[in-house]
Structure 1
Amino acid sequence: MQNVLTYFTIFFTVLVMQAQNDTTASIADAGPTKYQQGMRKAFQLWQENKSWEAANVFERIATAEPDNWLPPYYVAQINVINSFTEKDGTKLKAQLDKAQDFINDATAISKDNPDLLVLQAQLYTAWIVFDGQQYGMTYSAKASELYNKALALAPDNPRIILAKAEWDMGGAKYFGQSIEPYCKDIQRAIDLFATFKPAGEFYPTYGEERAKQIQAESCK
């Protein structure tokens, strides 16, 4: 279960950091659009640990911006994150079903998007965390396939490299294997983060600090 517990950690230490980064992004812009105002409000709520309120704002933006994959992506992401601490099976299913619906919406807008593939893999991970015996074998294989596809689509994206490397490291630890082969991927991600630029405001930016943390703790 080490691989899924790793994700439990990364969600709460890194994605909130993204909310902080995006909240302060482009604050100096003159005359922000209604979309920008809404997205910044959502990230601010997320930063304040009001994730469900943030999700509601993202959901309203998704309705108003039907051709933009980012709002449904963040609705799904918040539902996936919160599912990791949900012990009630009925509530968990409702959260992950909603996340799946919004992943589907985002994918319809942006097909073969590596960030959406990673989020889908993380949704499968949430099911594994909830009941590894029931979902482990099936969803682990699906998650691995998604990480491979995401990396093939974006071989130089440091967040994708990091996500796959961390997944692989978790699996290696679970089976008592060496994680050393994946440390080079962590280093490569760190190197690429130095020059990586997101495609635009509100695009996912997380990962660099997490990569450095993994390197310090696991790749000594």
Structure 2
Amino acid sequence: MKKVIVAFVILVSGLAKAQGKFEEGMGKAFSLWKEGKSKEASDLFERIAAAEKGSWLPNYYVAMVNTTSSFGMKDKEMVSAVLNKAQNALDVEMAKDPNNAELLVMQAMIYTGWVAFDPMTYGMKYSGKVIELYSKAQALAPENPRAVFGKAEYEIGGAKYFGTDTKPMCAEINRAIDLFAKFKPETPFSPKWGLDRALEAQKECAK
């Protein structure tokens, strides 16, 4: 019995140490990202993903760091490099869990990155897929504010382009803000972003 207890204590200690390293690494990666060191943050998230194959979060943030870096880029090679890196990281996790709403939202964001870079080339190719992904994410997780906001924000862009009414999308943005207030991330590192963008979009709707 004593040996069993000792083995259990060693196991728990090992798990705690591993968890500590995971948390430490993730915290460092977020700090780098916050400092504007996107490449360094992406590289660290990538190393964590290689070591922590049981968690989808490091690859999710590899995808997110690189996707958000693409917005505003003008050089096609640079855009291709970061969005392909984002796609490769996301593909690893999508293969494990294709019904994770947060991963679906991230896939929609990657496609949006392509559309934002070159609307004439990628708008027709990806716009329908973006709406489909957000709709699927909402069906899987109706209370997920990022799925609700992402779809509304993307549709507003299309409505402004074609000169159609944005009121239904603005109502969805208001609903997303309410969902943000209720949303509780599963872990300290689970996605919780989006409220600031939703509030900005709400101000635009009020104009």
Q: Give the direction of change, closer, same or farther, for the CA distance of 1:85–1:217 in structure 2 (3 Å limit).
A: closer
Which of structures 1 and 2 has the bigger CA Rg?
Answer: 2
Provide the residue aligned with 2:126 in structure 1.
139
Q: Give the direction of change, closer, same or farther, for the CA distance of 1:217–1:108 in structure 2 (3 Å limit).
A: same
> Quick check: 1:68–1:109 contact (8 Å CA) kept in 2?
no
Find the partner of 1:125 among 104, 108, 112: 112
CA drift of 1:58 comes to: 0.3
Distance in 1 of aligned mates of 2:74 and 2:68: 13
> Quick check: 2:105–2:146 contact (8 Å CA) kept in 1?
no
Cα displacement string for residues 157-183 of structure 1 (whole angstroms, at most 9, x for unaligned residues):
122111111111111111101111122
Provide the residue aligned with 2:101 in structure 1.
114
- Tell me the amino acid that sits aligned with residue 107 of structure 1: M
SS in 1 for 2:32: helix
Find the partner of 2:36 among 49, 60, 65: 49
* Identical counterparts, % of pairs: 52
Runs of 5+ unmatched residues, structure 1: 1-29
Matched, 1:95 2:82: yes
> Quick check: 1:67–1:109 contact (8 Å CA) kept in 2?
no
Cα displacement string for residues 11-68 of structure 1 (whole angstroms, at most 9, x for unaligned residues):
xxxxxxxxxxxxxxxxxxx987000000000001111111111111100000000121
CA drift of 1:127 comes to: 1.4
RMSD between superposed Cα atoms in Å: 1.8
> Quick check: 2:143–2:179 contact (8 Å CA) kept in 1?
yes
Does 1 or 2 have the higher relative contact order (CA < 8 Å, sep 6+)?
1
TM-score under structure 2 length normalisation: 0.86
Find the partner of 2:191 among 198, 204, 207: 204
Find the partner of 1:163 among 134, 138, 150: 150
- Tell me the amino acid that sits aligned with residue 48 of structure 1: E
Matched, 1:185 2:172: yes
Matched, 1:216 2:203: yes
Provide the residue aligned with 1:66 in structure 2.
53
CA drift of 1:100 comes to: 0.9
Distance in 2 of aligned mates of 1:185 and 1:91: 34
> Quick check: 2:143–2:183 contact (8 Å CA) kept in 1?
no
Distance in 2 of aligned mates of 1:192 and 1:96: 29
Structure number having the greater helix percentage: 2
SS in 2 for 1:194: helix
- Tell me the amino acid that sits aligned with residue 180 of structure 1: K
- Number of corresponding residues: 191
CA drift of 1:213 comes to: 2.0
Q: Give the direction of change, closer, same or farther, for the CA distance of 1:187–1:129 in structure 2 (3 Å limit).
A: closer
TM-score under structure 1 length normalisation: 0.81
Q: Give the direction of change, closer, same or farther, for the CA distance of 1:219–1:154 in structure 2 (3 Å limit).
A: farther
> Quick check: 1:180–1:219 contact (8 Å CA) kept in 2?
no
Matched, 1:35 2:38: no
Cα displacement string for residues 174-220 of structure 1 (whole angstroms, at most 9, x for unaligned residues):
11011111222112112222221011110111122222222122135
